Structure 1
Amino acid sequence: MAKYLYKLGKWAVRHRKKVIGGTIGILLIIGIIALSLGPSFSEDMSIPGTESAKAGKILEKEFQTSKKPAPGTVNLVLKAPNNQTLETKEVADIINKTIDKIKKDKSVVSVATPAELGNYNKNKQIGYAVVTYDVPAGNVTDRSKEIILQSIKNTRDAGIQTEIAGTVAFSELEIGGITEVIGVVIAFVILAITFTSFLAAGMPIITAVVGLEVGILSILIGTNYLDIPSFALSLAAMLGLAVGIDYALFIISRFRQELSKGHSLQEAVAIATGTAGSAVVFAGVTVIVALVGLAVAKIPFLTMMGLSAAVCVFFAILIAIIFVPAILGLLGHKIGPSRENKLLAILSNKKEVKESSKWGNFVTKRPWTVTILGVLILVMVCIPFFHMQLGLPDNGTKSKETTERRAYDLLTEAYGPGYHSSLVVLAKTDKNSGDIKQKINVVTEELGALANVKNVSPPIPNKSGNTYMISITPKTGPDDIQTTNLVHSIRKLSDSLTSKDQIELLVTGSTAVNIDISEKLNDALPLFATLIVGFAFVLLVIVFRSILVPLKAVLGFLLSLGATLGFVVYVIQDGNLINLFGFPTSSPVLAFLPVIVIGILFGLAMDYEVFLVSRMREEFTHSKDAKKAILAGLKDSGGVVTAAGLIMISVFSGFMLAPDPIIKSMGFALTFGIVFDAFIVRMALVPAVMTLMGKAAWYLPSWLDKLLPNINIEGTTIQTEVDERYKNNKKKIPTRVKTDRVHE
């Protein structure tokens, strides 16, 4: 592969203007197509095959009168001023005027007042009106939303607290806000320190943004044909930007090294593409495999999230090995050979700068101390992981600055936390089996007698009379473990009723669906983690021709993964330090977050392992000195891995500042996942443990060595050929010409 990439690098330099122009042209074409089609995200997070999904289909079939999608609704949650009620004449008049104003919108089918719905709370201070549109929630226009916002100013000005709930979203998800810009600015500063050049620092960001735009626009086009959730776009943007910058960083760093050796600009670009480019392709494909591997869980929306992020990583790879070399061919002579690297200077020992670094000397002289301390830190942070509770976000997890969260709190105040966790139970039976109504009434009584039930509605039959719909309101909220236990209790009751009275109970509703999704994802974790770890071990055995190095790598990955999820539980679920990190309230861990973290962190961990340990293997192959190999790896690759890790952290932390709880939690988890893996595991535990293993780290049975394919990701073959060719040419070229080649 290295030879093909070497040739690709040369081709990109020769045709740099065509490559750059063609890339911009492709971007414009994709942009025009994406804008013409528009986005069409799917918010369906159901999982086929679960009991709640099965019940949902029956509910739709037996009780939905129209086959059209459900119309969008807006609930205006109202709270009267102190010492007044919603029935007070002045208050009621203002509410009626507001509703009359909303009715003028031609998209509005009907508006039901709190009085008409009879939904006042006990003191009649809180209630809600329901606005129904003639289109699904996703198709309600911005103009209609603006009419709602303008209309409720009347009630708010009169002292009536008015908040918005319902299926129509008002706090929209945004990509590319100020928080993401902050992350990019920090990344630019890190690159400027690394390259000691503002031009060189800007190049990885510009090329990463180009790749990201192609990826994001491709996903937007895909939303018209695939069921892609909106938050998949944020995950793809987060990962695509981070790896795009990192991959360009690796190639540009190698390019400057080769330029400083005296190679021509074209040759330096070709070598960088063949060597660092090989590692980039390998690392990128590893990330893609991990993301595509999310399909193992057989959860549609999770599969789409993985595929969307994989698309952005794929374009990041193409940009790194084609577009970056073309840009270097055009501007490479302006960034020049590597000057003194400030980041490496911080880590370097001036007295031993040619062989080692300060950090390398520290770790190799105290391997037991570093190993024990590193493992203890990670194990301690892992502990909260063992009481992790999964769930899905709702309006109750949003910031109190959003109207949806304030509406959620008002409804809780009025009707209790169970209002948000209502369950729909379908009682199915054979219409010819005895007195159906009497049996259903007995079932309703049994449901009401279950623990944690606040009230049960009268059963409603379908047209054929063999299925009854029963609504249950629990005493606890949707994220409470007692609500989950109630769902299981209903299903357990169904088992006994099916055998005794031939009545089957099916539970659905958003709360039951979320519980099933969380449990399904929790069940998928062990299988997915096992497949990922097994894949990593086999892959690294092939790459590093060793047994112990891959074993150490996967054990380190498991430690960093456990620490990441443990810290997520400690902050997000247990509520520690939530103010520091800007979380509005404690809540269960996002149901699909552990699977996402496993997939992404695995890919990035293998990136750092490859870039760091491949240099160690290269040195050990030549010197057979294990300690010297470790020092060389930390000195030559440690600074780049450190910079790459800091860039990842800066980009992910930018998303961590986003207000949306889904994006915020993903940014938080990935930020600290990189902290634990890049800096504790890869930069500390890896060299420390390899120092303890000595030469045994590189042992591989000869019979196994013969069986394994040879993957030369370091590109040592082309490096040897180029160096040999350069030495031969150097003898034939006059001094003045050799000097000119450096600046070519």
Structure 2
Amino acid sequence: MASILFRVGRFCFRHKWWIIAAWLAALIAAASMVQAFSPKFAKDFSLPGTDAGVATEQMQDYFPQVMTQQENASTSVLIQADDGLSHHTEQIDALVADLKTLPEVSDPTSIANPVAVAEAQPQLAPSVLGDDGRVGLIQVDQNINMMDLTVDNKKELTDILKGDRGDGLQVQATGSLMQVMAPGGSAELIGFAVAFIVMIVAFGALIAAFIPLVTGLLGVGLTIMLFTLGAEFLSINEAAISIITMLGIAVSIDYALFIVSRYRSELQRGGTQADAAGRAVGTAGSAVIFAGLTVIIAVVALGVVGIPMITQMGAGAGLAVAVAVLAALTFIPALLGAFGRFAFLPRIPWIKHADPSAGGETNGVRFGRGIVRRPIPVIIGGLVLLALAAIPMSKLELGLSMESEDEAAAMDLMAEGFGEGVNGPLFAVLHSDDGDVSGAADAAVKEIAALGDVTNPQALTWVGNGTTDPANPNVGADSALIMVTPESAPASQQTHDLMENIRGIAPDIEAQGAELHVGGQTAIMSDLSAKLDTALIPYLAVVVGLAFLIMIGVFRSLWVPLIGTVGFIFSVLGAFGVTVAVFQEGWLGIISHTQPILSFLPIMLIGLVFGLAMDYQVFLVTRMREEYMHGMSAKDAIIAGYRHGSRVVTSAALIMISVFAAFILSPDTTAKMIGFALAIAVFFDAFIIRMMVVPAVLSLLGDRAWRLPKWLDRLVINFDIEGGAIKNRGLEAVPAGDGDGDGGQPVPVGSR
């Protein structure tokens, strides 16, 4: 492999303008096709193979008007006054008038002063007034698909709320309009800015620091265009774009950083620039391929979960990593060829040890010697620290709360006046192939009303889909819909239990000739959580198993992949513990309203961090193996690995952490939680496990760390990842004018 990649790197360096033009042409072509086709992302969320999925399909078939209402914008405006709402009639009337001015209101007459509604229709009083008349509910429905709402729509509402609150009247809102988020971009810009600073320090030169950034922008841009183009032919959810952007930026910059750093090191050894580029791609490029492969396996394997949106996120992330690997192997050497001898200029004179090949003691070498000298305290200290960080995980609660932090105040008022379950109804759907569902529906209403945790059970009723009498759709209906409002919050265990109890009466209803399924957003979220829990073990088996086999081939060792995998378990448990402490228990004050940990976070965090962990394992440990295979002792090889790799791995980890941590600034709690969890997990894994614990264990093992059993050694392909076949390629005497153009003669790094 090293020999093939050597030729690829040298070819791209020599034919730089053709390679650069080909990448730019691919980007322009993809963008042009997106512009021409104008593909649209899917707005639906399907959950095949679940009871909620079946209920959703039946609601679409038999109650399409209800599904339309579910998909359209619906916002609940909560008002509260300690002295009673009846003392604020004029303020409330003004608020009602303002709310009617919102665009495409479905029925302006339904937006009314709750006090007046309760007086005119006492039977509706419990649904619009609560807490002895101190809390009121005004429902605003719009003929706008909730996916089409804009930030401007949200601002219209928030301006109204701000203008009408005061003088003892609280006005808050929750629902579709309040869940609109500003388009991304700021987090990515912050990540790029920090990455640029880190690379200036890593290279000590401005142009070299720009090269990985340009590669990252090109790779992510091309990936997003290709992914968007796929929406023309497949049903793809837009939610996948965020993970593509987040991961694509991080790995593109990391892989480019690794190649450029190795190129600088190879230039110091001599030979032509083209040969140095070839050796860099042949050695570091091999590590990039296998590192990228482990990440691709980790994210694409999310498909075993069986949830289309998560499968799409994994596939999109895998595409982003594949493009990042291809760009690192071809576009980077072409850029290095384009900049030629100016690649590492202008130098930043006050940055020391930017060149890992420079003589003298670097911090990396000192750190490596300390690890090798006292490995046992390092191992114990690192693992104990991660074990302590994992302690809060004992309080882990999983859930899927879709409310944003902007809605927290309204949700508190909702719970105070009407119960926590008002915004999360369950929909029991009944269907009879015999043509009359009335008997089964009556029985279902009776049994559901007898269950606990149901709001206002005496008012529970069913609606049919009969068409013979428009005034009475229950006549001649073959399907029925029962809306059940829980007393508990949508993400609570009590609501989940109620949903399962309703499903538990399905055999009784089936005996009366109808099938029963439970759907709605709350049921979908609950089934999603259950599906994720079920898929976790198979997912781990696929990811860890395949990655372990790849690592055996990369390192030709059983110990190295085993140590790396065990270390990953400690780092991910520590990350979970800290995330629980911050977002569920409220430590550090990052969020003002705590909530359960997202149900899909464990499987996503494990997949992404495992792939990234193996990245750093490959980047650092392959150099140690390379030096060992080239004649160094086991311990000296570890120190040499720190000399050449510690600065790169540290820089790469800091960039990755910065990209993820920037999402903590997002107003969306979900984005905050994902960004924080990924950032802390990368910190634990890169700096404690990969930089400390793994090398410490390798130093204890000595030569045994780099051996395979003889029977296995014969079966494992030798990928030559350490580049033995090309180590000295191009270092022989080079005749003048060998045809390399500006890459034909040896040029010292940073020469002018």
TM-score normalised by L of structure 2? 0.87
What amino acid does structure 2 have at the position aligned with 1:557?
F
- Once the two structures are TM-superposed, the CA of residue 521 in structure 1 deviates from its matched residue by 0.5
What amino acid does structure 2 have at the position aligned with 1:23?
W
Report if aligned partners of 1:348, 1:358 keep a CA contact under 8 Å in 2: no
Instruction: For 1:145 and 1:508, locate their aligned partners in 2 and report how far apart those are by CA, in whole Å.
Output: 28
Task: Name 2:674's counterpart in structure 1.
Answer: 666
Instruction: For 2:216 and 2:100, locate their aligned partners in 1 and report how far apart those are by CA, in whole Å.
Output: 51
Tell me the alpha carbon deviations over residues 45-83 of structure 1, each in whole angstroms, 9 at most, x when there is no partner: 331010111122223322335897866234351426564
Unaligned runs of 5+ in 2: 118-123, 467-475, 738-743
- Once the two structures are TM-superposed, the CA of residue 272 in structure 1 deviates from its matched residue by 1.6
Task: Name 1:426's counterpart in structure 2.
Answer: 429
Task: Name 2:720's counterpart in structure 1.
Answer: 712
- Cα RMSD (Å) of the superposition? 3.4
Task: Name 1:556's counterpart in structure 2.
Answer: 567
Tell me the alpha carbon deviations over residues 661-700 of structure 1, each in whole angstroms, 9 at most, x when there is no partner: 2221211111011111111111111111112212221221
What amino acid does structure 2 have at the position aligned with 1:413?
E
Instruction: For 1:740 and 1:272, locate their aligned partners in 2 and report how far apart those are by CA, in whole Å.
Output: 16
Task: Name 2:264's counterpart in structure 1.
Answer: 256
What amino acid does structure 2 have at the position aligned with 1:646?
L
Report if aligned partners of 1:344, 1:639 keep a CA contact under 8 Å in 2: no
What are the residue-to-residue correspondences of 1:408-487 with 2, within 5 Å? 408-428=411-431, 440-456=441-457, 457-463=460-466, 464-487=476-499
Classify 1:296/1:432 alpha carbon distance in 2 versus 1 (closer, same or farther; 3 Å): closer
Structure 2 residue 122 is the aligned partner of structure 1 residue 113? no
Report if aligned partners of 1:231, 1:663 keep a CA contact under 8 Å in 2: no
Tell me the alpha carbon deviations over residues 114-159 of structure 1, each in whole angstroms, 9 at most, x when there is no partner: 3567642134454444444445333457776666566667645888
* 2:42 aligned counterpart, secondary structure: coil
Instruction: For 1:89 and 1:272, locate their aligned partners in 2 and report how far apart those are by CA, in whole Å.
Output: 75
Instruction: For 2:150 and 2:197, locate their aligned partners in 1 and report how far apart those are by CA, in whole Å.
Output: 41
Tell me the alpha carbon deviations over residues 571-606 of structure 1, each in whole angstroms, 9 at most, x when there is no partner: 2233333x1xx2232212212212211221121111
- Once the two structures are TM-superposed, the CA of residue 437 in structure 1 deviates from its matched residue by 5.4
Classify 1:225/1:31 alpha carbon distance in 2 versus 1 (closer, same or farther; 3 Å): same
- Once the two structures are TM-superposed, the CA of residue 4 in structure 1 deviates from its matched residue by 3.0
What are the residue-to-residue correspondences of 1:176-255 with 2, within 5 Å? 176-177=185-186, 179-255=187-263
Instruction: For 1:475 and 1:740, locate their aligned partners in 2 and report how far apart those are by CA, in whole Å.
Output: 75
Unaligned runs of 5+ in 1: 731-736
Instruction: For 2:736 and 2:162, locate their aligned partners in 1 and report how far apart those are by CA, in whole Å.
Output: 80
- Once the two structures are TM-superposed, the CA of residue 427 in structure 1 deviates from its matched residue by 4.3
Instruction: For 1:711 and 1:266, locate their aligned partners in 2 and report how far apart those are by CA, in whole Å.
Output: 23
Q: 1:171 aligns with which of 180, 185, 200?
A: 180
Instruction: For 2:599 and 2:248, locate their aligned partners in 1 and report how far apart those are by CA, in whole Å.
Output: 22
Q: Which moved more, 1:679-688 or 1:360-369?
A: 360-369
Q: Which moved more, 1:619-628 or 1:470-479?
A: 619-628
Instruction: For 1:324 and 1:212, locate their aligned partners in 2 and report how far apart those are by CA, in whole Å.
Output: 15
Task: Name 1:392's counterpart in structure 2.
Answer: 400
Structure 2 residue 525 is the aligned partner of structure 1 residue 517? no
Q: Which moved more, 1:239-248 or 1:28-37?
A: 28-37
Report if aligned partners of 2:397, 2:597 keep a CA contact under 8 Å in 1: yes
* 1:73 aligned counterpart, secondary structure: strand
What are the residue-to-residue correspondences of 1:556-575 with 2, within 5 Å? 556-575=567-586
Instruction: For 2:691 and 2:676, locate their aligned partners in 1 and report how far apart those are by CA, in whole Å.
Output: 21
Task: Name 2:121's counterpart in structure 1.
Answer: none
Tell me the alpha carbon deviations over residues 342-393 of structure 1, each in whole angstroms, 9 at most, x when there is no partner: 5768999987669x82111211121111112222222333344455332223
Task: Name 1:616's counterpart in structure 2.
Answer: 624
What amino acid does structure 2 have at the position aligned with 1:566?
G
* 1:718 aligned counterpart, secondary structure: coil
Instruction: For 1:690 and 1:343, locate their aligned partners in 2 and report how far apart those are by CA, in whole Å.
Output: 29
Tell me the alpha carbon deviations over residues 290-345 of structure 1, each in whole angstroms, 9 at most, x when there is no partner: 21111111110100111122222222222222222222112241244999995768
What amino acid does structure 1 have at the position aligned with 2:243?
L
* 2:5 aligned counterpart, secondary structure: helix
Instruction: For 2:374 and 2:313, locate their aligned partners in 1 and report how far apart those are by CA, in whole Å.
Output: 43
Classify 1:350/1:449 alpha carbon distance in 2 versus 1 (closer, same or farther; 3 Å): farther
What amino acid does structure 1 have at the position aligned with 2:419?
G
- Once the two structures are TM-superposed, the CA of residue 555 in structure 1 deviates from its matched residue by 1.4
Instruction: For 1:454 and 1:74, locate their aligned partners in 2 and report how far apart those are by CA, in whole Å.
Output: 20
Q: Which moved more, 1:139-148 or 1:24-33?
A: 139-148
Instruction: For 1:345 and 1:36, locate their aligned partners in 2 and report how far apart those are by CA, in whole Å.
Output: 46
Report if aligned partners of 2:265, 2:357 keep a CA contact under 8 Å in 1: no
Report if aligned partners of 1:78, 1:160 keep a CA contact under 8 Å in 2: no
Classify 1:714/1:120 alpha carbon distance in 2 versus 1 (closer, same or farther; 3 Å): same
* 2:730 aligned counterpart, secondary structure: helix
Classify 1:96/1:501 alpha carbon distance in 2 versus 1 (closer, same or farther; 3 Å): closer
Task: Name 1:491's counterpart in structure 2.
Answer: 503
Instruction: For 2:223 and 2:435, locate their aligned partners in 1 and report how far apart those are by CA, in whole Å.
Output: 58
* 1:424 aligned counterpart, secondary structure: strand
- Once the two structures are TM-superposed, the CA of residue 416 in structure 1 deviates from its matched residue by 1.5
- Report the number of matched residues: 721
Q: 2:145 aligns with which of 122, 136, 141?
A: 136
Structure 2 residue 7 is the aligned partner of structure 1 residue 7? yes
Structure 2 residue 685 is the aligned partner of structure 1 residue 703? no
Task: Name 1:314's counterpart in structure 2.
Answer: 322
Q: Which moved more, 1:279-288 or 1:524-533?
A: 279-288
Task: Name 1:530's counterpart in structure 2.
Answer: 541
Task: Name 1:734's counterpart in structure 2.
Answer: none
Instruction: For 2:156 and 2:371, locate their aligned partners in 1 and report how far apart those are by CA, in whole Å.
Output: 64
* 1:426 aligned counterpart, secondary structure: strand
What amino acid does structure 1 have at the position aligned with 2:59?
L
Instruction: For 2:342 and 2:581, locate their aligned partners in 1 and report how far apart those are by CA, in whole Å.
Output: 48
Tell me the alpha carbon deviations over residues 256-311 of structure 1, each in whole angstroms, 9 at most, x when there is no partner: 11222232222222222222222222222221222111111111010011112222
* 2:129 aligned counterpart, secondary structure: coil
Q: 1:372 aligns with which of 350, 369, 380?
A: 380
Classify 1:547/1:153 alpha carbon distance in 2 versus 1 (closer, same or farther; 3 Å): closer
What amino acid does structure 2 have at the position aligned with 1:631?
I
Task: Name 2:470's counterpart in structure 1.
Answer: none
Instruction: For 1:468 and 1:10, locate their aligned partners in 2 and report how far apart those are by CA, in whole Å.
Output: 69
Task: Name 2:57's counterpart in structure 1.
Answer: 57
* 1:418 aligned counterpart, secondary structure: coil
Report if aligned partners of 2:440, 2:509 keep a CA contact under 8 Å in 1: no
* 1:716 aligned counterpart, secondary structure: coil
Instruction: For 1:206 and 1:297, locate their aligned partners in 2 and report how far apart those are by CA, in whole Å.
Output: 35
Instruction: For 1:143 and 1:84, locate their aligned partners in 2 and report how far apart those are by CA, in whole Å.
Output: 33
What amino acid does structure 1 have at the position aligned with 2:541?
T
- Once the two structures are TM-superposed, the CA of residue 476 in structure 1 deviates from its matched residue by 1.4
- Once the two structures are TM-superposed, the CA of residue 431 in structure 1 deviates from its matched residue by 5.5
* 1:374 aligned counterpart, secondary structure: helix
* 1:77 aligned counterpart, secondary structure: strand
Report if aligned partners of 1:46, 1:517 keep a CA contact under 8 Å in 2: no
Task: Name 2:45's counterpart in structure 1.
Answer: 45
Classify 1:36/1:84 alpha carbon distance in 2 versus 1 (closer, same or farther; 3 Å): farther
TM-score normalised by L of structure 1? 0.88
Tell me the alpha carbon deviations over residues 517-555 of structure 1, each in whole angstroms, 9 at most, x when there is no partner: 001001111111111111121111111111222211221
- Once the two structures are TM-superposed, the CA of residue 658 in structure 1 deviates from its matched residue by 1.5
Instruction: For 2:336 and 2:685, locate their aligned partners in 1 and report how far apart those are by CA, in whole Å.
Output: 31
What amino acid does structure 1 have at the position aligned with 2:181?
E
Classify 1:391/1:164 alpha carbon distance in 2 versus 1 (closer, same or farther; 3 Å): same
